[in-house]
Structure 1
């Protein structure tokens, strides 16, 4: 047996390969000879994400957008140590007197497999770094007599009820951070009731662009719908458990109309144009009953509703039809009912009958959106405002990154979820608000 190699002199590098490092770092791809010694390993060629045929079902998105990404979690393994390899290469190099000895290498003939890990967090994806800085710079202007009007840069929340784990975050956009403007997005998470009869509401709203009171309008919209749902939570929870989708649709449509009507009334009281004191509104209802897997989405205005299922992103945003009944050609059009039993129901802005106690609100300027779907174990449901929905639809690399991060056996923690929702994309600088639900 030839003598083990010694450390190279200073200024020279060893030409022999480095030994396998089993301390949990990523040593890179395994050598060819290591893969050949493992008869069960057949990694094959890497999938071509751009040229792969579109085999997604009708409810999945086209390959040119979110559903084109079939990325899988990265696997980290140390190279196999072949028992038939050169003994001289199997021996670790002798440490220099000044080096600190590390852990002993793996015995010969053994394979060390590290657990599946998601990709490391990144700051941005896409063609290049965004224009603005990654961290907040200027704070919004404060009025000493209106300190309650201040909005935090970031809001983070989470919970676990029944079979689902909730993560929610709202972050000021890069543009607002640079200009010292308040976050126009508002986020509300609330639980009404106790035990298996409880109902969890996640509401998010976005105020009108370039208006001074946009953040107040968004906050009012969330609070109005929160009060309305809270007062009717027992009936809503029962309708969800029993599956009364028609009652849910009409009831939530009425509550949404009244909440946005209150917002318009508030604008009139302040002497503000209702167009400037308006907000989009998107909500999720999650029953705490572990036996109920129905997830209800409703709202008015732009944003996104996505589902990560079996490693593929699906855009399940309810399609919008105009008053003439003709479908609007766009991204994410879905049939009225999918093979999985997910039904899509919507209204076209029809005003509700006037109440004897208050005037009937005007119909929302955009159609009411509603979707009640049955969750499967392993699903991840994502509801978000336009600040995150737009880059998800426009930058496939962001979808691929989130697929790797959110396909693990356990949901991410609060800090990890916040970091994931903040991954930036050049050309998208709006506020981001997102709520994701992981199904056990």
Structure 2
């Protein structure tokens, strides 16, 4: 075979392998194709190129018309070149899409958590906690209430603006307790306030309430009888003795803690309320700063009794609860704005002059959260509505 004939045979084999024309023997490693068979005698290289282009069928390609096989020549025909590719014209540029706002509006200002918007709007910092004395933690706010016979009781204690911002514990303590049964049932409400800027002041206030509560509870039957019979002499001496014992225990606790007795102390103010609907006597007693007021016919009356001349000034007063009256016992944090701010007193009187006593949440809103400029102490209030 001449060199030119060998070259022609290699080209034929290449096309057969590329398009699967031939038997398995002609294309080693490939399976036989269904329409495989001997090549047609009239099949030429140009016919194969033309067939391949028809099989591919790519858009934009033009296939030249079929032509007859050239006459046999001693020399092989010139190798055909693939036809030129005709590309379609580029598309016309699309009109620009108008921009429009599709996102959210202006970004809101960044939050300012940790910076109070007003001096006492909400709690800011928690008091420091001792892992070994978690039972001494004091919540920011305490709310309580009850109803017995002709009286409705509401009580709330809330940390002041200064303590909230500095992360100090509430120095006001509140105790509401019921002792006895039947006609001898007696309700005690105690409010205590520890000294400012003294370590452990909130513990002293808590101890004062707990100890006076225990003393009253152990003597509740005798106290309820003396109140019901209006035996005021016995009440004054008995309650003063219980109060003195409470302050004596505070002094002893101060020595145990290694504190000065004059620092581990608290203002203590209490109300005794018989649950017997036939007894409308309300008894106040205690020592230290605070307030006792009565709201009658839309006006406030200051009922704070004069102090006795004792080392711990003792105060006592018994009042008759007339229908429509409201009795208010409070710590200095509420007594001071009531005494010093007429607008504040008028607003509170207007809130409490409704025909019905407020619920717990409205009571908290009108007492602990009613603001007065310059008054940022803890507030504790006990209201007694008479019907």
TM-score if structure 2 supplies the norm length? Answer: 0.69
Listed as ranges, the matches of 1:37-436 within 5 Å are: 132-320=119-307, 347-349=308-310, 363-364=311-312, 367-421=313-367, 422-436=369-383
Distance in structure 1 (CA, Å) of the matches to 2:136 and 2:177: 21
Distance in structure 2 (CA, Å) of the matches to 1:130 and 1:308: 33
Residues 137 and 180 in structure 1, CA contact (< 8 A), matched pair in contact too: yes
Residues 131 and 426 in structure 1, CA contact (< 8 A), matched pair in contact too: no
Distance in structure 2 (CA, Å) of the matches to 1:431 and 1:130: 19
Q: Which one is further off, 378-387 or 393-402?
A: 393-402
Q: What do the CA deviations read for 1:265-315 (whole angstroms, capped 9, x no partner)?
A: 000111100121110100000000101110000000010000001111100
Q: What do the CA deviations read for 1:139-177 (whole angstroms, capped 9, x no partner)?
A: 101111211111000000000112110000000000000
The structure with the greater share of residues assigned to helix is 2
Q: What secondary structure sits across from 2:216 in the alignment?
A: helix
In structure 1, stretches of 5+ residues that fail to align are 1-128, 321-346, 350-362
Residues 130 and 424 in structure 1, CA contact (< 8 A), matched pair in contact too: no
Distance in structure 2 (CA, Å) of the matches to 1:135 and 1:263: 32
Distance in structure 1 (CA, Å) of the matches to 2:124 and 2:289: 28
Q: What secondary structure sits across from 1:319 in the alignment?
A: coil
TM-score if structure 1 supplies the norm length? Answer: 0.61
Distance in structure 1 (CA, Å) of the matches to 2:182 and 2:155: 22
Task: Point out which structure has higher relative CO (alpha carbons under 8 A, 6+ apart).
Answer: 1
Distance in structure 1 (CA, Å) of the matches to 2:353 and 2:166: 36
1:348 positional shift: 2.1
Residues 138 and 180 in structure 1, CA contact (< 8 A), matched pair in contact too: yes
1:241 positional shift: 0.2
Count of residues in correspondence between the two structures: 271
Residues 162 and 377 in structure 2, CA contact (< 8 A), matched pair in contact too: yes
Q: What secondary structure sits across from 1:348 in the alignment?
A: coil
Match of residue 102 from structure 1: none
1:131 positional shift: 6.0
1:215 positional shift: 0.3
Q: What do the CA deviations read for 1:311-342 (whole angstroms, capped 9, x no partner)?
A: 1110010023xxxxxxxxxxxxxxxxxxxxxx
CA 1:375–1:130 in structure 2 vs 1: closer, same or farther (change >3 Å)? farther
Distance in structure 1 (CA, Å) of the matches to 2:266 and 2:356: 34
1:404 positional shift: 1.3
Distance in structure 1 (CA, Å) of the matches to 2:306 and 2:234: 20
Residues 311 and 403 in structure 1, CA contact (< 8 A), matched pair in contact too: yes
Distance in structure 2 (CA, Å) of the matches to 1:196 and 1:157: 23
Distance in structure 2 (CA, Å) of the matches to 1:220 and 1:198: 24
1:130 positional shift: 9.7
In structure 2, stretches of 5+ residues that fail to align are 1-115
Structure whose alpha-carbon radius of gyration is higher? 2
CA 1:262–1:147 in structure 2 vs 1: closer, same or farther (change >3 Å)? same
Distance in structure 2 (CA, Å) of the matches to 1:130 and 1:298: 39
Q: What secondary structure sits across from 1:425 in the alignment?
A: coil
Distance in structure 1 (CA, Å) of the matches to 2:130 and 2:184: 43
